[in-house]
Structure 1
Amino acid sequence: MSVQKSKGKVQEVEIGKGEKAIKIGGENVIPFYDFDGDIGNSPKLGIEILDVYPEDWVDSLKELYKDVADNPVEWAKFVEKEIKPDFICLRFKGADPNELDKSPEECAEVAKAVAEAISLPLVIAGTNNHEKDAKLFEKVAPAVQGHNCLFLSATEENYKAVGAGVALAYDHKLGAESSVDINLAKQLNVLLTQLGVKGEDIVMNVGNSAVGYGFEYLVSTVDRIRLALFNQNDKTLQMPIITPVSFETWNVKESMADENDVPEWGSREDRGISMEISTAASVITVGSNAVVLRHPKSLEVMKKFVSELH
């Protein structure tokens, strides 16, 4: 059998500390092509929690988390003990200026308490307001120093503040978020490394969408990034990729439409899980090294998917 040799290799990045720390990346072939080379570390699966009560989540999840959803620390401990993902993603929805506009200082206290309460690696996601996230991460990063967290994400608008305040000052890992374009992903990686952030401290977040919503652009972007690395050894694209799948899949009409409005669509919960699994499986198959999920059933299916393919 003919074997295709790769010129490049995905950088291995470690998140977390101790026995539960995870490594992502490390492959020098396209996903699961173990007959062509080293497939590196298995894709890692995280579960999303919020800093506020999840008002708009499906009823079954609110029921599952009813005793802990008002307290991010207890919520994180519950997820670690009962649901057992590879990592936890704490998303600061309450800090959003359009939500409760919580102060960076308050969020820093929450992040510190969560990081100290769990042994799983912690991924910290902001509000998607680039200006607020820069201020938020500046306070959260020192509060969780020593826990080797991954922060999502630095963008072209705030990369200087986030890069300096997260990776350079406190040795955390940094997500480089671009908008579904290989050249934008490359440019942001170059800007961050010129700032002084080490390549091995960067994880790319190259965009996110649910299947059926421009998803082919995301898939082709991830594919092009990986092929540019493997075939041309493009060092500016050697970082592993994380995709926060749940941030998008639960916000599309198929996952949100009320059962009374579209009874023929069936259970809202089942629809959301299907969107999440379809998206996660597809993006892992094309090259994402880690995904964030919301529903425990999605995690269960994806664990089986990864274990049988890797």
Structure 2
Amino acid sequence: MAYKKVAKKYSGKIKEVTIGTGDKAITLGGRNVLPLHAFDGEVGQSPKVGLEIVDEVPSDWIDAFANLYGDVQKDAATWAKYVEETYAPDFICLRFEGADPNGSNRSVEECVETAKKVSESVSLPLVIAGSKNVEKDSEIFKAIAEALEGKNILLLSAQEENYKTVGAAGALAYKQKVAAESSVDINLAKQLNILMTQLGVQKEDVVMHVGCAAAGYGYEYVSSTMDRITLAALGQNDETLQMPIITPISFETWSVKESIATEEDEPNWGSIEERGIHMEVSTAAASIASGSDAVIVRHPKSLEAIKYYLNSIIG
């Protein structure tokens, strides 16, 4: 008997969320099948890939990035423009590492000025990431959301501790998009989405950041969480989990030993730069296969590899 392919049908669908404005705006989500399962139905929007830059010359990035970018890193706006014109990512993630109170402790006003200059220098959609200090990030997100009103940026992220401030300022007051960040747990992700919508934020303004880990560092928990979210959103038509997912790959993969151990310390491991790229690409590809609608990478070669991967699978 000849094999007959039967398409798997789902009752749910991932909502579409648009970031940015004009011709360069991107839309995430829209699928009603498992990730990359074009043979089953509507795959929606192709996953998007963004490049990370930071608001000051990074002190903890490997030397390969200084060689790659040179003096461009000294000014975030110049850096953003260079990235857009040279590597053409789908979006740019500007992370305010310098705002960390335990680091440079740049003021909110300085961060706003940087965000405005970056926004004016590029036409690509912007994702604004904080310093990982919840209190400081609340102030930064609120001020930047106001300063960039009309730019339709994505604030990465609103957490349980500050979702009211970030959600109210970002989505309600200034009509920006907001990522709801939870920690690799479907129940926490669902709870935060419910809290955001109870606040008045529309589902079409919310993207989920459900956590990340470098491949080999407990990544199976990330993958299984995304699987459970996808199956609940599509198979059970759970509307509280039907937001697209963004995963900041670079935040995790460039801090593990395989990516930062020097060639002197680990001579048998080969090029430190290549190791980091491989770690980033493997984690990003796995995240897309698990359900990420957008990933953030740091190295241009990672961007190139993931775009090739996507074009090869879904065109």
TM, length-normalised to structure 1: 0.99
Aligned residue for 2:52, secondary structure, equals strand
TM-superposed CA distance for 1:31, in Å, is 1.1
Output the CA distance in 2 between the equivalents of 1:74 and 1:82.
Answer: 12
Match runs of 1:97-176 below 5 Å = 97-176=101-180
Is 2:37 the partner of 1:33?
yes
Distance 1:169 1:105 in 2: 19
- C-alpha distance in 1, partners of 2:210/2:36? 21
From 272, 290, 299, the counterpart of 1:295: 299
AA in 2 matched with 1:267: S
Q: CA RMSD in A?
A: 0.7
Candidates 5, 12, 22, aligned match of 2:9 = 5
Aligned mate of 1:235, from 219, 234, 239:
239
Q: Distance in 2 between matches of 1:54 and 1:131?
A: 22
Is the partner of 2:72 in helix, strand or coil? coil
Look up the equivalent residue of 1:127 and give its one-letter code.
Answer: S
Range with greater deviation from structure 2 (54-63 or 35-44): 54-63
CA distance in 1, matches of 2:143, 2:233: 35
Q: Which residue of 2 aligns with 1:253?
A: 257
Give the whole-Å Cα distance in 2 for the aligned partners of 1:138 and 1:289: 25
CA distance in 2, matches of 1:25, 1:88: 18
- List gaps (5 residues or longer) in structure 1: none
Structure 2: which amino acid aligns with 1:17?
T
2:82 is equivalent to residue 84 of structure 1: no
Q: For residue 212 of structure 1, give the secondary structure of its aligned residue in structure 2.
A: coil
Residue in 2 that maps onto 1:71: 75
By how many angstroms is 1:67 displaced? 2.3
Amino acid in structure 2 at the alignment position of 1:266: G
Indicate the SS of the match to 2:151.
coil
Matched, 1:277 2:281: yes
Question: Residue 195 of structure 2 aligns with which residue?
Answer: 191
Alpha-carbon distance in 2 for matches of 1:286, 1:161: 30
Q: Matched residues in 2 for 1:60 and 1:159: separation?
A: 36
Residue 203 of structure 1 aligns to a residue whose secondary structure is strand
Secondary structure of residue in 2 paired with 1:247 = helix
Supply the AA of the counterpart residue of 1:4: K
User: Which AA in structure 2 matches 1:177?
Assistant: E
Question: What amino acid is the match of 2:297?
Answer: L
Report the AA paired with residue 273 of structure 1: I
Kindly state the Cα deviation for residue 97 of structure 1 after the two structures are TM-superposed.
0.9
Aligned residues: 310
In the TM superposition, residue 165 of structure 1 has moved relative to its aligned partner by: 1.2
Out of 211, 226, 229, the residue aligned to residue 225 of structure 1 is 229
Say if 2:33 is the partner of 1:24: no
Of stretches 30-39 and 182-191 in structure 1, the one that deviates more from structure 2 is 30-39
Partner Cα separation in structure 1 for residue 271 and residue 59 of structure 2? 18
Question: Residue 140 of structure 1: SS of its match in structure 2?
Answer: helix
CA distance in 2 between partners of 1:245 and 1:270 (Å): 16
Give the match for residue 209 of structure 2. Answer: 205
Q: TM-score, normalised by structure 2?
A: 0.97
CA offsets 1:58-111 (integer angstroms, 9 cap, x no match): 222111211210100000000000011000000000001111111111101110
